[in-house]
């Protein structure tokens, strides 16, 4: 078999190659596994020992004419999403040797379609971080410049796609954890609407904000994956019963009818000039192509980051209480008192950023501070939601930056948590409001580092994201 050119492969291309007999899923999976083993970006925590047998099964389905568009396609899974029998560390020492006893609904649905799991990708501990420097297993290196971060918390999943270690991957997004690493690594990243994809089997960081979503090379591939994962799940009471439309059929329909809003608050001070210019150039091209472009206001945007960093740690402090080493995970000396057991397990098992957020969250929820902080943040959440709802009565989609700068160097912000938190300034609003958002690559800056724009649409309107994203992607290819 001739060496497969992994760089050019996407889902449609892989399926065509299967059909033409150029290679099988087993042969393709072997190529990816060999590349993962030789890779030096630290993007994988573990490999799926059953990957080749899963690929052989997929080949049999394809041969029998029982395949779907996803059958035989390899995929990498963020190590915060459970896959039965495989490691599920959450990027933390406390779960270093934990093996999942069941499979997340999103993954189960992809497996039903015949996808092949390559392994579990590195991530910030329990998804807490914007750089993937908070993983117990070490930072993930950016393939465009290995002195720089991959972005977080789904850094391993973004690098897996960017560095041809997997054609597609899954991440989770609580405040930008899919979109920001996608932007930093030059791939497509989708945060679905809250409730669009079941959270069952994803380690909860912030239950009211978390969403599982895909990282891919193209917008169409993100649509393929969401199509299979989306929909109500009886195991997740927060999953939506809203009908899932056929994203692929809708992809090229009525694209130019999409009214585009440009929020003033996202283009102020602090944004890198090259990113701003690149996005403004795209908006200009869309305007010339006949799209209606309108300047809009989201006045509560300036409070979104503050609200997020109150709501998120409050839920973190509650959700991470389950990691006590009693039923699973890191344990301690059995002769210790219960208090000393907890202190030992949690001080040794959690990293610095996780401890910081647990302490902050506990403080925010404590008597005397709940009303002053948490309650106020919840009120702000309502105002931010209303902001978006009002704007989406005037327009169908918003175009904004994903991040204020291109990817930064490893260690550059790790000693200044506030500077690190500011990396999420353009992404947290979508999570707070529960709307959907897409990060789309739009070229590179003078240092050859990826740049991206963000498209936002109202809840459950991923179809608009895909249509507009696919149109802009084609503009990029025509350059």
* pTM across the whole model: 0.96
Reply yes or no on whether 92 is catalytic: no
CA–CA distance, 100 with 44 (Å, rounded to integer): 17
Band of pLDDT at residue 479, cut at 50, 70 and 90:
low
Band of pLDDT at residue 478, cut at 50, 70 and 90:
low
CA–CA distance, 411 with 416 (Å, rounded to integer): 10
Digit-coded pLDDT (tens) for 109-123: 999 999 999 999 999
* 3-state class (DSSP) for residue 268: coil
Q: Give the mean model confidence (pLDDT) for residues 230-242.
A: 97
Mean pLDDT score of the chain: 95
Structural domains of the chain sorted by starting position, each given as residue range(s) with its CATH number in brackets: 1-479 (3.90.1300.10)
* 85 and 120 Cβ atoms separated by less than 8 Å: no
Q: Give the mean model confidence (pLDDT) for residues 1-17.
A: 86
Of 24, 130, 131, 153, catalytic: 153
Q: What is the pLDDT of residue 415?
A: 81
Give Cα 268 distance to the centre of its chain: 26
Of 25, 130, 157, 177, catalytic: 177
Retrieve residue 102's tokens: 């069941």
Is the pLDDT assigned to residue 2 strictly greater than 60?
Answer: no
Retrieve residue 64's tokens: 């029998």
Residue with tokens 């989306």: 230
Reply yes or no on whether 153 is catalytic: yes
Is the pLDDT assigned to residue 8 strictly greater than 70?
Answer: yes
Instruction: Read off φ and ψ for residue 18, nearest 5 degrees.
Output: -60, -45
Of 24, 25, 43, 78, catalytic: 78
Question: Which residues is 168 bridged to in the sheet?
Answer: 75
Q: Give the mean model confidence (pLDDT) for residues 447-456.
A: 97
Band of pLDDT at residue 418, cut at 50, 70 and 90:
confident
CA–CA distance, 167 with 438 (Å, rounded to integer): 18
Residue with tokens 């694209």: 255
């Amino acid at each position: 078999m001739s060496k497969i050119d992994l760089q050019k492969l996407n889902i449609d291309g892989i399926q065509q190659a299967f059909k033409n007999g150029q290679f099988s899923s087993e042969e393709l999976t072997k190529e990816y596994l060999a590349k993962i083993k030789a890779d030096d970006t630290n993007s994988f925590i573990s490999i799926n020992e059953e990957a080749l047998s899963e690929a052989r099964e997929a080949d049999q389905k394809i041969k029998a004419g029982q395949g779907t568009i996803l059958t035989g396609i390899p995929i990498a899974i963020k190590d915060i999403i459970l896959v039965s029998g495989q490691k599920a560390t959450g990027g933390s020492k406390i779960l270093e040797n934990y093996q999942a006893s069941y499979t997340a609904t999103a993954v189960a649905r992809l497996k039903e379609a015949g996808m092949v799991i390559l392994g579990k990708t590195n991530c910030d501990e329990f998804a807490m971080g914007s750089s993937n420097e908070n993983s117990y297993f070490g930072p993930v290196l950016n393939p465009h410049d290995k002195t720089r971060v991959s972005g977080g918390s789904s850094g391993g999943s973004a690098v897996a796609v960017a560095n041809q270690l997997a054609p597609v991957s899954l991440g989770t997004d609580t405040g930008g954890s899919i979109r920001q690493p996608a932007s930093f690594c030059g791939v497509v990243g989708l945060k679905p609407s809250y409730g669009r994809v079941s959270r069952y089997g994803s380690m909860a960081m912030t239950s009211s904000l978390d969403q599982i979503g895909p990282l891919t090379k193209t917008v169409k591939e993100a649509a393929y994956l969401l199509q299979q994962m989306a929909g109500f799940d009886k195991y997740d009471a927060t999953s939506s019963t809203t009908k899932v439309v056929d994203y692929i059929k809708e992809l090229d329909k009525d694209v130019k009818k999409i009214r585009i809003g440009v929020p003033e608050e996202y283009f102020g001070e602090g944004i890198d000039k090259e990113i701003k210019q690149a996005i403004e150039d795209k908006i200009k091209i869309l305007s010339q192509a006949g799209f209606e472009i309108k300047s809009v206001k989201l006045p509560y945007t300036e409070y979104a980051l503050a609200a997020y960093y109150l709501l998120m740690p409050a839920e973190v402090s509650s959700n991470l209480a389950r990691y006590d080493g009693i039923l699973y995970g890191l344990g301690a000396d059995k002769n210790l008192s219960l208090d000393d057991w907890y202190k030992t397990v949690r001080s040794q098992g959690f990293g610095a950023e996780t401890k910081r957020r647990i302490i902050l969250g506990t403080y925010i929820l404590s008597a005397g501070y709940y009303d002053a902080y948490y309650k106020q943040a919840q009120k702000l959440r309502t105002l931010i939601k209303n902001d978006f709802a009002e704007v989406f009565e005037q327009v169908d989609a918003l175009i904004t930056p994903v991040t204020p700068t291109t990817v930064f160097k490893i260690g550059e912000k790790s000693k200044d948590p506030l500077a690190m938190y500011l990396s999420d300034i353009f992404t947290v609003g979508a999570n707070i409001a529960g709307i959907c958002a897409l990060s789309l690559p739009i070229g590179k800056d003078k240092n050859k580092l990826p740049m991206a724009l963000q498209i936002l649409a109202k809840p459950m309107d991923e179809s608009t994201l895909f249509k507009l994203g696919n149109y802009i992607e084609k503009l990029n290819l025509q350059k």
